[in-house]
Chains A and B, each alone.
Chain A
């Protein structure tokens, strides 16, 4: 038990006072020559046992009195309800203390965060665990790097470890409990003692728990691990979270206003209000007034706009004022501001004259307008010869017969990383090849299976009224002047087979032909961060005269600019995600380093060469949100290559719903599980001095001593 004034414990030697007084009394005796010795002996013989017992009891009470007094003066305290059963330890055991350090553990209640409460309790536990057990101490974010691994600690080492635990901070990433439990099972497998016990300090938030945890629970059950789940942290006490910050359009261009959308959620605490935020652009801060946000309102969108003068990499950070959970209050974004949008038009049917080209009208519409667009036109065969897709924000495939499988994979990676892809059909398109390589049973790029084009009587284009349409102007035009779009009447249209409703959650129809059955005209599919739009007509006039109409110009141009996105290079990730940077296979770097947010020190990053032709730098210690700078050398060059990553807090952790004890039991079926609730800060959180209890005890003992002494005196 810890004390506030442990030096005063030396006063415990005074507990020997009654014994010393008793011994001194024995030395100060009177000698009496006594005649009735026989009766004296008789008395002593018959009463000796009772007398001795009474004397011992009296001596024990007086010694205890002094001990309690000294004990009380030394001001002992209980760390939370450490006195509770969960602290009682026994046996020779491999013990694991697992501290959940996910973002939600930073939730503050009564001036103390769940994480602080956890570390304090864990530290007290470490200090009291003794030398007989092997101890592993680990956090969920660094489960592969325990602070102590199955080691029997001396008291001094335990105290140092406890101090180290007290200095820990929560991270901004989410925790995947299934993965954590798998790692935990591996950790436990390697421990020395057959008796194994895990104490998990967690806020028991539902986020991060999934049915997969049960599988890992079976492993723990098989090992006979005793799990004590110590619940810390209560419900939300006034929290606003920034759940999203992203540019509205995919491509950011210099000297062009770039719009951002920030999404703010608040919990239902009526006392809590958030009315301003801080916007930081390239390190320059400015306050932002927020619209009125009602308590409990979710998904409040805040539109921001900024014009960057210079192309290049810029950072933008939005930060809400501190609240109960500060970890989810800020988000960062890296914006790669380009000089122009880079568009590749792949011509499946290049003509001799420019006008005969499949992409003639597309090139025309992209050249026009104020937005700087750098268009590259390549015949499909030429494009196929190049080793990579190329560095483009948007690729348009126009009447390309087939896409080789390798190139399809490259395209998919590119779109997943954020670039846009528009596919126009045509007579050359081989539906079988497209469906197998690009549709790939719904897993590929193609939003729908396509069939050969067929003649059709069409009387115009119908725009679906959907949110976040990539063609908002055309949508508006359709609403206001439908006659403009009614002229569009292709002679031939490619039929498509939409995936069934279960499979097409990422797929939606943007526009339909006004014909029998209203066949889809444009189908959009979200693939990773990028989008793919399939048009069921040709890009040129082969199947329709639409390319000559204004609506074609308006619609396709805005579609192109909307879905065009900067691929791969953005580096906007979520805390906990692995940083990856592809490097040259022919001239790979010899070393790579990362500077973590909030630190000046460099941390070395690994170079993964498992895929020989695609080496990459990998860095996984990314549980803190903020800007990470990765640098690596290029042999033969003096300067280092650099890349910036912006990691934002994991918004899943803003969901503060807690699992009930029953739900927790269901998550870990079969496991020897004990649930301990330390979420009440009054009962468990702060260290509690127990001098009142001791004072009461002391008074009780004084009364008992007086009463007992009086009784003994009267008896004799």
Chain B
């Protein structure tokens, strides 16, 4: 049962549920929802007045205006639609890493799954359609967005049954996965981004070009950023066979600088492309991080309502 899944972290849910999640752009939903639709129709949300012209549905005539001004004016309503959100979860081997300080002992994949599950729960509550694609070197499981309870159960089952494996080749795989989406919507990428960044940026650009709103949840373990080891270490490539011996204390500062540069470069690139970039550290409170992001997004949505794109990053 979906409500019993360990991925649905109550702490996280309790923090994000009150906030809700709205698409920054207009979305083409099939049912009525929270999100603005490009179609105008029956909706409680008034949009504008327009001079009546013959052929218009008379049920839309605003009689109060006629009574006051003797003019025939029709009311137009802004239609609200449901969101189609597809979550792309990186299930490569590198997502398996778990540091000592990780919250609830979750590795990066489990963290990504928790985020996916919680976001799914949030969106489903809003009657938004949610889909899931797990990827490594190719799309593994593909669940087209739906807003049914059965979909929710399937998503949770998929996430729980997936074991990370294989190498990361995020860029091309994202494009291939997105090609399977029938309508434009929101794409939530959950990955550590330890892949070729140039092809990744290229792929994200293509998604945007196809009309998708892209959010990148950048998941890294705290140890991967801070390199807090004091012993002599043999670093073995988690996705390959290469081994490097090193005494981390000797190059910690330089390594941290390199990682910070990596994160900064991703942040600034996403920012310039209008992609939300959220850094999720597995050693930090996940609910808080997500709540911060959603809160910030809410504020930004309020100030930029009607605009096509939003910027900014929540870290």
Chain B residues within 8 Å of A, Cβ to Cβ: 94, 96-97, 192, 194, 221, 224, 229, 231-240, 242, 244-247, 249-255, 258-259, 262
Contact = CB atoms under 8 A, between A and B. Distances in A.
A37 B235 contact: yes
Given A43-B251, A46-B254, A34 B245 contact: no
Contacts of B94: 35
A35 B194 contact: yes
Interface in A491-519: none
B255 A32 contact: no
A302 to B, nearest CB: 87
Interface in A34-57: 34-44, 46-47, 51, 54-55
A518 B80 CA distance: 166
B244 A35 contact: no
B234 A31 contact: yes
A47 B229 contact: no
A32 B245 contact: no
A443 to B, nearest CB: 96
A29 B224 contact: no
A33 B97 contact: yes
Contacts of A44: 244, 246, 251
A639 interface: no
Interface residues of A, number: 28
Pick the most buried of B221, B253, B254: most chain A CB atoms within 10 A of its CB.
B254
Given A30-B229, A35-B94, A44-B244, A716 B250 contact: yes
Contacts of A38: 194
Q: Which 5 A-B pairs have the closest CB atoms?
A: A35-B94, A34-B235, A29-B232, A33-B238, A43-B255
A34 B238 contact: yes
Interface of A: 25-26, 28-44, 46-47, 51, 54-55, 712-713, 715-716
A40 B251 CA distance: 9
Given A34-B237, A36-B259, A39-B259, A716 B253 contact: yes
A26 B238 contact: no
Contact of A30 (B232, B251, B258): B232
Main secondary structure of the interface of A (DSSP, over half): helix
A713 B253 CA distance: 9
B252 to A, nearest CB: 5
B92 to A, nearest CB: 9
Nearest to A25: B232
B229 A41 contact: no
A29 B234 contact: yes
Pick the most buried of A26, A31, A39: most chain B CB atoms within 10 A of its CB.
A39
B238 A35 contact: yes
A715 B253 contact: yes
Contact of A55 (B234, B250, B259): B250
Contacts of B237: 33-34, 37
Nearest to B261: A39
Contacts of B224: 34-36
Contacts of B255: 39-40, 43
A32 B244 CA distance: 10
B250 A37 contact: no
17 contacts: A28-B231, A29-B234, A30-B233, A33-B96, A34-B235, A34-B238, A35-B224, A36-B194, A37-B237, A37-B238, A37-B240, A38-B194, A39-B258, A39-B259, A41-B244, A51-B250, A713-B249
